[in-house]
């Protein structure tokens, strides 16, 4: 079982991360139970997403705008 790592980032950094995830074909989403739903709305901030790696770590990235 992996770890949950959460990061608060600037809007520009969020855009860059999202661009890299899309380019790499890595699924992402707004729900930790379904991190591949392709959504970026988040219940705690303006934009946020989750994605996982091969070691089953769950990454959470949140942005205020």
Give the pLDDT confidence score for residue 43 in this predicted structure: 84
The one-digit pLDDT tens for each residue of the chain (65 residues) are: 799 999 999 999 999 999 999 999 999 999 999 999 999 998 889 999 999 999 999 999 999 98
Distance separating alpha carbons of residues 25 and 53, to the nearest angstrom: 12
Residue 1: predicted pLDDT = 75
């Amino acid at each position: 079982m992996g770890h949950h790592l959460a990061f608060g980032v600037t809007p520009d950094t969020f855009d860059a991360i999202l661009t890299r995830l899309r380019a790499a074909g890595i699924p992402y989403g707004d729900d930790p139970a379904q991190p591949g739903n392709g959504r970026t709305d988040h219940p705690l901030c303006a934009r946020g997403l989750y994605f996982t790696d091969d070691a089953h770590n769950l990454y959470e990235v949140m942005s205020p705008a």
